[in-house]
A = this chain, B = another copy of it.
Amino acid sequence: MTIRSATPADIPQILVFIRALAAYEREPDAVTATEAGLLRDGFGPNPFYFCLMAEHEGRPAGFALYFFNYSTWMGRPGIYLEDIFVEPEFRGLGIGKALLKQVAAVAIEKNCRRLQWEVLDWNTPAIEFYRAMGAEFLDEWRNVRLSGEALERLAGNTEPVGARQAIEAAQ
């Protein structure tokens, strides 16, 4: 089994994994991501995400996709693990643990003190696995999301400060 950083050539496989994970999370139709979007966002000069690929005997077996978040209390970046997935036929071989270990190693190397992610409340095996690793569950915090029309309504015709400053700088 090998774990390596993803390259642009992995994007079709990354999208296969993203779709398989969404199906496992009972949202098979939720994926609207495209190969072009994943390429643009993960492999430019300021990538929005980072991705690790796991292979077993040369075949794609799983992936982990993460980005950096920020703790204002600690005054340090942390790592947020957005996705981790192992193909069913490769489960039980320690690949998920190896991917997690790699992400933890990146966190330590980047001087992050926290690795954070989310788990569905019905996914008891995963919850027990994370608890056994020493993870905490931050259950007093509720996740809030604004999207679609509600987000556009809030933004209204507000001109973003950053954009205006960029325009002024260019003049």
Number of copies: 2
Q: List 22 A-B contacts (CB under 8 A).
A: A21-B72, A22-B73, A27-B73, A37-B75, A41-B77, A49-B72, A50-B162, A69-B69, A101-B155, A104-B158, A105-B156, A108-B160, A109-B163, A113-B148, A113-B151, A116-B146, A121-B142, A130-B144, A133-B154, A137-B142, A138-B145, A141-B143
User: Distance in Å from the Cβ of A79 to the closest Cβ of chain B?
Assistant: 9
In this complex, what residue of B is CB-closest to A45?
B46
Least distance between A113 CB and chain B CB atoms (Å): 6
Complex A-B, nearest 7 residue pairs according to Cβ-Cβ distance, in ascending order: A33-B75, A134-B150, A37-B75, A104-B155, A105-B158, A138-B143, A104-B154
Measured between beta carbons, the chain B residues less than 8 angstroms from A3 are 161
